[in-house]
Amino acid sequence: MNRLPSSDTWNTQTEITQSKGRQPQLSPFPSSLASNSPNAFFVPARYEKNYAYPLVVWLHHDGATEQQVSQVLPHVSVQNYVGVGIRGSRAADAAGHRYDWVQTAGGIAQAEQSVMDAIENASQRYSIHPERVFIAGYKAGGTMAQRIALRCPSQFAGVISLGGGFPGGCRPLANLQQARELNMWMAFATECKEFSLDAMTDDLRLLNAAKMRVEVQQLEASDEMLAPVLRQVDQWIMSLVTGQTQPRCVPDWDTVPVEFSAN
């Protein structure tokens, strides 16, 4: 079993939580069966067709595939969500085993259409609550998730980015008035080689000035893909689903990476 490979709120008041500590790592979950579909689905345990589930739209990091949703979402919750994984817009190898996100105007439009098609597909297959659709991603997928959510804020109840910086270029805040209603959650591993404190500070300053609803978690680790981080994602989503106040004090997170089956 290989570790998931790394890729090349504060609300109006800026709030950053630092976390550390160690706990036993979780066992890996098996990957979904591969297919030619650009989407992969995760169905919760004891799926109940008469209950309208929140939907988590998952965007993988560069160099992975849509199957990553089946590896990640069980560590968020095995029963709270239906999940759909989106395939990146550009093949990163000749065999089509790895995909990247193209962060250009054309690439963003293509990714947005893929996400909207996947939401429609998931809603036709499963019982989905139309006002509880969340978009999330890892690294470059997290950046693309933010782009799409900011372009279509009324389509999403929230956006989650694990290690993906705030998007630059292509006017991510062009839809500012509506985007201010969007709930955002970001996590950064400060010991990751790609992490830049200056870049994060600049992003937070921009988002604060724009009066965005953003919560940021900063953790002393080399990767954001940690079991307790994913559990915190579950807590954040469910706080929005249930209308409960998100707790400000978060238990210490461990820094043991989640391990997954190789894609």
Q: Which residue ranges form the domains of the chain, and what is each CATH number?
A: 2-260 (3.40.50.1820)
pLDDT for 35: 45
- Structure-token pair, residue 172: 């991510």
Average pLDDT for runs of 10 along the chain of length 263: 34 34 35 60 97 99 97 98 97 92 96 98 98 98 98 98 96 96 97 94 95 95 96 97 64 46 35
124 CA to centre of own chain: 22
The count of C-alpha atoms lying within 13 angstroms of the C-alpha of 99, restricted to the half-sphere facing its C-beta, is: 20
pLDDT for 249: 36
pLDDT for 244: 84
- Which residues pair with residue 158 across a beta bridge? 134
| Side chain identity, residue 52 | A
Among 53, 101, 81, smallest CA distance to 233 is for 81
Return the sign of the alpha-carbon dihedral for residues 101, 228, 189, 31: negative
pLDDT for 18: 39
Among 234, 56, 240, smallest CA distance to 149 is for 56
261 CA to centre of own chain: 19
pLDDT for 96: 84
- Structure-token pair, residue 192: 């990751």
Strand duo 53-59 + 128-138: pairing: parallel
Residues 203 and 10 sit within 8 Å (Cβ to Cβ): no
pLDDT for 204: 94
